[in-house]
Amino acid sequence: MSMYGWLPAEQPSGATITPPAPTPPTPREQRSRLRRYLTPLLVLGAFLLKFGKAALLILPKAKILTTSGTMLVSIAAYSLFWGWKFALGFVVLLFVHEMGHVIQLRREGIEASAPMFIPFLGAAVMAKSLGDNATAEARVGLAGPVLGTLGALACIPIAVATGDDFWRALAFVGLFLNLFNLLPVVPLDGGRAMAALSPWMWWVGLAAMAVFAFAFPNPIILLILLLAAYETYKRWKQRKTNDPKSRAYYKVKPSHRAIVAAVYLGLIAVCVVGMDLTFVERSISDS
């Protein structure tokens, strides 16, 4: 037996056997194959057209979009660059940061979803509003960096106890994440705080973000810049109107403004000092 079938009893010495060319399908066979492949697609398309609205309502409740599911997807994505161990630690720090927003939103009496993770963009919490006024918005905005900074700082004692630079690097990245979020531009957390302090700082933050995007060009920073430009313009225009609701929203008591400023500046100081203490020098040979 050979790979080509039965061979003749006698063959010329050194002769090579060429397999017969496959017989092309007849037009009838081609139509049959086409129907076999297209029928499931047509059935699926009809199902989606008929039940598309219901599918869209069910989709957010699918397990893949739960907090644990999106966390696993993010860990897998970050593992491609940092390895699974660091990716896991980074996603946990993201989770701690976002839970700060969730806790404060619920304290404000606002229903908030669990964090949803988006690889390379961070995470998000869904809520109908950020509070009844700019002070509440500032509390919600700063709650994330407060809890996130505490989570990053918790890595430092572990680094000291173990002598493992992994924990120092994780603390450094966590502190940088929270410091970046304190840039005074919406939709970042620092922009939320500026709603209760000096909204004109939104323009300073927008300029800083533009410089950052120019110095470190990448699609994520560009996306944040575009969102910030749109949100800043919309808010500034709304704030300049004579709408009583808008004026009431941005009316902040001096004592509340002082507290927000102290927390905001204190967080920046803690993050900067913490990053200096946890910075790990690496040479090219170490990478």
Domain spans in the chain, listed from the N-terminal domain onward: 63-286
pLDDT 10s digit of each residue in the chain, 287 long?
A: 434 333 334 444 455 555 555 555 565 555 455 445 444 444 444 444 444 444 334 444 544 456 788 899 999 999 998 899 999 999 999 999 999 999 999 999 998 888 888 888 888 888 888 888 999 999 999 999 999 999 999 999 999 999 999 999 999 999 999 999 999 998 899 999 999 998 888 999 899 889 888 888 888 788 888 988 998 888 888 877 777 888 888 889 999 999 999 999 999 999 999 999 998 876 444 54
Q: 3-class secondary structure for 24-70?
A: CCCHHHHHHHHHHHHHHHHHHHHHHHHHHHHHHHHHHHCHHHCHHHH
Q: What pTM, to 2 d.p., does this model score?
A: 0.72
